[in-house]
Structure 1
Amino acid sequence: MFRTIVSRLRRLGALGLLLLLALGAHAAAAQTGPTIRDVVVEGNQRIEVATVQNYLTLHAGSAYSAAEADKSLKALFATGLFSDVTLRLQGDTLIVRVVENPVINRLVFEGNHRMQADQLRSELQLKPRQVYTRAKVQADTQRIQQIYRRSGRFAATVEPKVIQLEQNRVDLIFEINEGPLTGVSSIRFIGNRRFSDSRLKEEIQTKETAWYRFLSSDDSYDPDRLTFDREKLRKFYLSKGYADFRVINAAAELLPNRENFIITFTIEEGRPYTFGKMDVTSDIKGVDNKALAALVTTKTGETYNADQVENTVQALTDELGRQGYAFVDVQPQVKKDLQKRIIDIDYTIGESPRVFVERIDIVGNVRTLDKVIRREFRLAEGDAFNAAKLRRTRTRLRGLNFFDKVDVKESRGSAPDKVVLTADVTEKSTGEFSVGVGYSTSESVLGDISIRERNLLGRGQDLKLGFSLSTQRQQADLSFTEPYFLDRELAAGFDLSRRRTDFRDRSSLDQTTTIASPRISYPITENLSQQIYYRFRQDQINHVRDDASPFIIAQEGGYVTSSIGHVLTYDRRDDKIEPGHGYLLRLSQELAGVGGTERYVKNVGAGYKYFTLSDDVILTLGAEAGSIIGLGEDVRLPNRFYLGGDNFRGFRTGGIGPRDTSTGDSLGGEQYYKGSADLSFPIGLPNEYGIKGILFTEAGSLSKLSDSGPTVFDSNSLRVSAGTGVQWKSPLGLIRVDVGFPIVKEEADKTELLRINFGSRF
């Protein structure tokens, strides 16, 4: 009985298995169609049939299935070549119908007045002769809007339009409505108790929109600038002792008109700290910690200032670098006492070996020869590393004015005690063709044209040819300088010039001067240099008015000056163009009589000292004096000194000094002295405008005339003037207006209230 039951169960199991297999076969037959005998592609114009078939997963000889058909569709769409694809099975033939995406013929921008088409085109994915896809068009549309937002135009809109052409080509046009600049209507601060909103607004770069900011973009919203402002606020508070300060949030809210933002900074000031105990700890053997401690600028009891901490770290790094430790690591270990509000700092100096220069590499120069850069290095391969000399090298390379960027970096060499120096430079154009126009009260309308190459053939040579013309002066100049003559630190060159000047308003004469002067200069020390020159000068005095001073009429004619001279310069300024601190001393001496008709000795000394009183407030004190002594004969008019105009404001050109009172003609003088004080300061406008106010005072005198007479006024009495002015580095050039008031003067002096100088290059 049991065996019968088992036998029946086995028969039922076999029947079930057969049933399952039959159902599976039926399901497989439902998903798999007939075997494909051929694949036909329709609708393609540019794309080859083989290319389309290559992307298919269904091929001749394979069985058709819905799953494989779906994979084939996805593969063809993924190419981006087609806007539509359909697959259908006709008998045993698979028909693939495609609609190709068009090819872009032209990419056009309309309405872009503030952005150049090339600038926009370089930012887009789509290019002419590429396949057009809607996804890429949408992405590029958003990209153009981002570009405009980056420039402060959040109201800009972009609408892409397509013009169908023959052969399945299209012109893609981006219609742009740039909209107005999205300004900043208001800047607010939340959480500030110690400093007012107006004080904090001075510290950030973003400004509120105002009519006078038309030359600046700081009053337009820029997310990157907002991030920069957060950092500026943090640095400001840290410099005032608020070590716990943080910016909780910086939010920009776009107003409904989409033309302005309201910016809100939410800050937490914390409480101020003072400096506590200051220590210097060094792991470098042989380094005097006491000497290093003298470099610490943070003092116990003073208000905490993060800038002073950074300055101390830099001073310690520089001093150790000067001693030859290139990779020294100075870490200020800060310990806060929250109860006493005190910060103790231990400047910890990690162990570092003394290093030597293994190699100097020059990269980035295409035109400038390596040796032109290498000769400016104050360090040579094999020298002990010195950070001060490395800084001097950077300064000298920037001073060449051949490069947009100069970066001198040190990296570890082949051994722990070796360093590799790399000068990475980015060259800029050194050729200049300039045309200038301007106006000055001394020469009225003036103009000049010049051609100059400051890095001739990449050798660092300077060649200049210039012409200038005004209502009172015509001049031509040619000069050349070889900065490393005979491959030595010896600058050699020459100057040629010819100048005709109308001095009839000043001295009732015309003067034509021709000068040829070879020169050579060299450094004596790092800051002291000397120039030696020979000068051949020919002067012609003519067109003397009939009613001129007899002292001038007597000098009508031609004269030749053959002289040798030198100039000593000691320069400790921080910047040669816009110095903020340091000083400059200069002494020049000239001896005439090496041939020619003129014989004299001339001495001129000058000194200038610069002080930065506060941010952008600079005081300049200057003093100079000169003397010229005739050797066996009187000093003639062209070689005398003249004061007034640009070199003594408040008085006309030649307005101070010996004068023939019967004619009013200036006769020049043989001795002078002068002192001056200039204070430049911002006048409340944004710094980017380049407008500064000036207060000045000048005091001095010009006197002593050998060929004098009863009608000649000659007094060494002190003259003093004071005044104010405005200087603007405008897009059209430097404009300066000075209003000077004589305070102490003589009756014979000629005064001048207003002096204007304007010049431009384009």
Structure 2
Amino acid sequence: MIASIRLLLMLLVLGSGMVAIPHQVRAADAAPLITSIDVDGVRFVEKQAVIARMGSRVGKPLDRRQLSRDVRALYKAGFFSDVRFTGDRSDKGIKLVCHVKEYPLIASLKIEGNDEHSSKDLEKKLKLQPGGFFSPQTQHADRNTLRKGYLKDGFYQNSVEFVSTPRKDGRVDVVVKIYEGKVTRISRIHFIGNHSFSDSELAGAIASRQTDLVATLMKRDVFDKKRFGADVQMLQQFYLNHGFLDMKVDSEQLTLSSDKRSFSLTFSIHEGIQYRVDQLDVQGDVVPDKETLVKLIELESGENYSLKKMGDSIQAITDRVGDEGFAFASVTPLMKRDVDAHTVSISFEIDKGQEVYVERIEITGNEKTEDVVLRRLIRQSEGARYQGTQVQHSREELGRAVMVDDVRVSMAKTDVPDQVDMKVNIKEKKTGTITGGIGYSQREKIILTAKIAENNLFGKGYQANVNGQLGKVTQNISGSFTDPYFLDTDISASLNFSKMKSDPVTTITYRTDSSSFGVSFGLPITLHLSYNMAYNYSRTTLSAVPANSSNLIKAQAGTTVIGEVSNALTWDTRDRLMSPRRGTMESISFSLAGLAGNSKFWEAAASSAVYIPFDKEGDFVLNPTIDYRTISSLKGTNVPLWRRYSLGGIGSLLGFDINGVSLRDQVTGEALGGDKQVRGGVKMFFPLPYMRTSGFRGVVFADAGTVWGQASNKVGNIAFATVPEPFSFARVRYSVGFGMEWLSPIGPVGFAWSFPLRTVKGDITRNFEFALGSSF
């Protein structure tokens, strides 16, 4: 017998994926034992890693089906471009050798041609990475990922190519070349079968937009497959809100132009009959009473049927029945049509279900925040009857809490039929920050800033912060501590302090040094209405007054002490405090100075701000504002110079320098301030391309404002050195412009380019403004 027989097992890649073994080998011995397994051809992959992926093992009989599976497994790993087996046979068995050819390793990866997305963002989506294998499978997967991403953004001409350059060490440098092409926009939206509404009315009811200036800015004219699918539902809702119960979209057609630069959308519509509401009723479990529930129905007899009003009515009735303790109440509308009369009668069938009590409230997810801090925000009480309105208010209050990122509330049934457990799942967010920065502004030059803040101190909901700013003109430090639930009540209590020095600048000629300490209390009256009372004690020294300054400024040189009590009533429905997207904020306030100190005066103010979103995400927000203030001295004293009104700068009147609009000394031209002020404006916020998720947003604005009254000094009740200025529309200043805001970790940073449209002699204008720590 020959001592050993050389055996060659060649892999034949067939449709069945099986390994072909020579006939003479099968005849001699169909299943020799594997005595050893070796791997040949590997440079970057460990031999044991290759063997670990195989099913063939030393000591087991050679199995051609298993070898076939091993080949497929090694190919699937994505490391090898070629796999084959050979073997040396002896009396003891067969020595198996796996021959592989590796794909080259990626030494470097670079992306070119990407203007729409940053390389950093694209690299996160790629499977190809430096140190990984450059395989066709991975290239195919990455090409599809990139192309789908660009298609989603409306780039239907895009293409992706991978170019590799070999190195001497066997690795390759890979360049991902992207051709983005132009955005494929919607050139035309057409409707067929619409008789009751015009094409423009229906175009306004859907999410997709035909190309125009506004649609281009909002990217609503970029074709989006999901948006196109939603357009059908939006058309149906539009018709249902106008009484067309039988309306349906027969077909929707999408046509891509031959150059792939534009789409044409066509909707074929069947309108049907428009129905008016006839009779309205409630039936079933009428709780608390029929009269109460009927008043909640927003639909009215004689008007066109509306799906939105129907939904709002169902929700209102469900909530009201829920307030009686029925957590699982359901309301079903029963509709009876009269086709001939074109009317529909609606009866709301109520199934109140089991009356339940909230046995326990369980809070989960709060790793840092103490339970009691969150329970104070929950309006529903344990052991009390379920109340749907209180549960909803609890959800809203928790959602607004500074330590809560997300909240989920659900009702879980218990073993007792009339009891439920209220499950509150909290997702906390980071509340502590330590930040520092360096910046530049035209007024302050180099600015150094630092901030330490914690909005959930010790997990008890306390809010504390210390801020410092060092610039050429202003040096200040301030801090505050707030207990939102002082003495376990709904009253918030705050302590604050500040120390600020200000040197002369182009708009003022004197130096100020001020320190203050204050305490305030806030009382919520309703969910959105609150009352605040505060006392602030301050000492301000005005010094370094030039000899040629205004007599009104010279008269106030020295130290002024103010003890001031202020009251404010605020209505706030904003969805968030920073960069609101919707809601309103109205405020009226009154302050009285004279409780300690040598300065006595009163001040009153009223302001309003509205935030109107133009899209679902709240990226485009219209923000009209108006503010009025007046201040007056008491008992022969003077209103401090720094408390009088001047306008200019970000947060005030753009297009003018700080104190750029003011009452002025007729000889020296120095800003003295008025005792009345009004300012208003309108802003449009919008996302910036490529910076949507980085805290940046753009703004265009129009501002208007003026100050008036008189600047004077008093000795007793006698005024001298008076500078009067009556209100006049001719003296209202206007400006327009554009800007950019960044919500940085250390606070808002604003840039504004402004163009004054009306100025008055003596005004100081400024076309560019940079500000750190103040918002538009």
What's the TM-score once normalised by structure 1's chain length?
A: 0.75
Max Rg structure: 1
Deviation (angstroms), 1:264 = 1.9
- Seen in structure 2, the aligned counterparts of structure 1 residues 507 and 644 have a Cα distance that, compared at 3 Å, is same
- Give the secondary-structure state (helix, strand or coil) at the position aligned to 1:569: strand
Q: Is the 8 A contact 2:645 2:707 kept in 1?
A: no
**Residue of structure 2 aligned with 1:629, choices 634, 640, 655:** 634
- Seen in structure 2, the aligned counterparts of structure 1 residues 703 and 296 have a Cα distance that, compared at 3 Å, is farther
- Seen in structure 2, the aligned counterparts of structure 1 residues 142 and 525 have a Cα distance that, compared at 3 Å, is closer
Cross-structure match for 1:571: 571
Deviation (angstroms), 1:268 = 0.9
Deviation (angstroms), 1:180 = 3.0
**Structure-2 separation of matches of 1:262 and 1:613:** 27
- Give the secondary-structure state (helix, strand or coil) at the position aligned to 2:349: strand
The reply on whether 1:712 has 2:714 as its aligned counterpart is no
Q: Is the 8 A contact 1:722 1:740 kept in 2?
A: yes
- Seen in structure 2, the aligned counterparts of structure 1 residues 189 and 658 have a Cα distance that, compared at 3 Å, is closer
Deviation (angstroms), 1:735 = 3.9
Cross-structure match for 1:557: 558
5 Å-filtered alignment, 1:21-60, equals: 34=29, 36-39=31-34, 44-45=39-40, 46=47, 54-55=55-56, 60=61
**Structure-1 separation of matches of 2:614 and 2:30:** 89
Q: Is the 8 A contact 1:504 1:510 kept in 2?
A: no
The reply on whether 1:513 has 2:524 as its aligned counterpart is no
Q: How big is each residue's C-alpha offset from its partner over 1:187-223, in whole Å with a ceiling of 9 and x where there is no partner?
A: 4324164555555555544456779988765554443
Deviation (angstroms), 1:303 = 3.4
Gaps of 5+ in 2: 1-23, 41-46, 616-620, 743-748
**Structure-1 separation of matches of 2:307 and 2:568:** 41
- Seen in structure 2, the aligned counterparts of structure 1 residues 462 and 404 have a Cα distance that, compared at 3 Å, is same
Q: Is the 8 A contact 2:451 2:468 kept in 1?
A: no
AA aligned opposite 2:634: I
Cross-structure match for 2:98: 98
- Seen in structure 2, the aligned counterparts of structure 1 residues 282 and 468 have a Cα distance that, compared at 3 Å, is farther
- Seen in structure 2, the aligned counterparts of structure 1 residues 434 and 701 have a Cα distance that, compared at 3 Å, is farther
5 Å-filtered alignment, 1:397-546, equals: 397-417=398-418, 418-428=420-430, 430-431=432-433, 433=435, 435=437, 449-457=449-457, 458-468=459-469, 473-501=474-502, 508-523=509-524, 526-527=527-528, 529-546=530-547
**Among the aligned pairs, what percent are the same residue?**
18
Return 655-664 or 299-308, whichever deviates more. Answer: 655-664
- Seen in structure 2, the aligned counterparts of structure 1 residues 584 and 389 have a Cα distance that, compared at 3 Å, is farther
Cross-structure match for 1:180: 181
- Seen in structure 2, the aligned counterparts of structure 1 residues 274 and 378 have a Cα distance that, compared at 3 Å, is same
Q: Is the 8 A contact 2:514 2:538 kept in 1?
A: yes
Cross-structure match for 1:721: 732
Q: How big is each residue's C-alpha offset from its partner over 1:244-293, in whole Å with a ceiling of 9 and x where there is no partner?
A: 444445555555555x3414232315146243125242433542222222
Q: Is the 8 A contact 1:247 1:265 kept in 2?
A: no
Q: Is the 8 A contact 1:448 1:466 kept in 2?
A: no
Q: Is the 8 A contact 2:331 2:348 kept in 1?
A: yes
Cross-structure match for 1:8: none
- Seen in structure 2, the aligned counterparts of structure 1 residues 202 and 705 have a Cα distance that, compared at 3 Å, is farther
**Structure-2 separation of matches of 1:89 and 1:206:** 69
- Seen in structure 2, the aligned counterparts of structure 1 residues 171 and 639 have a Cα distance that, compared at 3 Å, is closer
Gaps of 5+ in 1: 1-28, 63-67
5 Å-filtered alignment, 1:199-348, equals: 200-207=202-209, 218=220, 220-255=222-257, 257=259, 260-271=261-272, 273-348=274-349
- Seen in structure 2, the aligned counterparts of structure 1 residues 580 and 109 have a Cα distance that, compared at 3 Å, is closer
Cross-structure match for 1:351: 352
AA aligned opposite 1:713: V
**Structure-1 separation of matches of 2:772 and 2:526:** 37
- Seen in structure 2, the aligned counterparts of structure 1 residues 610 and 100 have a Cα distance that, compared at 3 Å, is closer
Q: Is the 8 A contact 2:377 2:397 kept in 1?
A: yes
Cross-structure match for 1:159: 162
Q: Is the 8 A contact 2:279 2:344 kept in 1?
A: no
**Structure-2 separation of matches of 1:104 and 1:286:** 74
Cross-structure match for 1:604: 604
Cross-structure match for 1:12: none
Return 614-623 or 352-361, whichever deviates more. Answer: 614-623
Cross-structure match for 2:148: 146
**Structure-2 separation of matches of 1:572 and 1:126:** 50
Cross-structure match for 1:5: none
Q: Is the 8 A contact 1:185 1:209 kept in 2?
A: yes
**Structure-2 separation of matches of 1:39 and 1:295:** 82
- Seen in structure 2, the aligned counterparts of structure 1 residues 338 and 611 have a Cα distance that, compared at 3 Å, is farther
Q: How big is each residue's C-alpha offset from its partner over 1:285-315, in whole Å with a ceiling of 9 and x where there is no partner?
A: 5422222222222223333332222222233
The total of aligned residue pairs comes to 710
Cross-structure match for 1:588: 590
- Seen in structure 2, the aligned counterparts of structure 1 residues 422 and 148 have a Cα distance that, compared at 3 Å, is same
**Structure-1 separation of matches of 2:132 and 2:96:** 24
Q: Is the 8 A contact 2:704 2:733 kept in 1?
A: yes
Cross-structure match for 2:385: 384
- Give the secondary-structure state (helix, strand or coil) at the position aligned to 2:497: strand
Q: Is the 8 A contact 2:565 2:595 kept in 1?
A: no
Q: Is the 8 A contact 2:751 2:768 kept in 1?
A: no
Q: Is the 8 A contact 1:659 1:712 kept in 2?
A: no
Q: How big is each residue's C-alpha offset from its partner over 1:51-91, in whole Å with a ceiling of 9 and x where there is no partner?
A: 7995489965x9xxxxx74x344333342368444589979
- Seen in structure 2, the aligned counterparts of structure 1 residues 50 and 644 have a Cα distance that, compared at 3 Å, is closer
Q: Is the 8 A contact 1:657 1:702 kept in 2?
A: no
Cross-structure match for 2:68: 74
CA-based RMSD of the aligned residues comes to 5.0
- Give the secondary-structure state (helix, strand or coil) at the position aligned to 2:556: coil
Q: Is the 8 A contact 2:325 2:356 kept in 1?
A: yes
Q: Is the 8 A contact 1:657 1:715 kept in 2?
A: no
Return 203-212 or 287-296, whichever deviates more. Answer: 203-212
Q: Is the 8 A contact 1:704 1:715 kept in 2?
A: no
Cross-structure match for 2:375: 374
AA aligned opposite 1:642: Y
What's the TM-score once normalised by structure 2's chain length?
A: 0.74
Deviation (angstroms), 1:382 = 2.4
Cross-structure match for 2:21: none
Return 50-59 or 340-349, whichever deviates more. Answer: 50-59
Q: Is the 8 A contact 1:326 1:419 kept in 2?
A: no
Return 634-643 or 46-55, whichever deviates more. Answer: 46-55
**Structure-1 separation of matches of 2:50 and 2:390:** 70
- Seen in structure 2, the aligned counterparts of structure 1 residues 627 and 521 have a Cα distance that, compared at 3 Å, is same
Return 383-392 or 605-614, whichever deviates more. Answer: 605-614
Q: Is the 8 A contact 1:137 1:160 kept in 2?
A: no
**Structure-1 separation of matches of 2:289 and 2:171:** 77
Q: How big is each residue's C-alpha offset from its partner over 1:168-203, in whole Å with a ceiling of 9 and x where there is no partner?
A: x97695734243354225243241645555555555
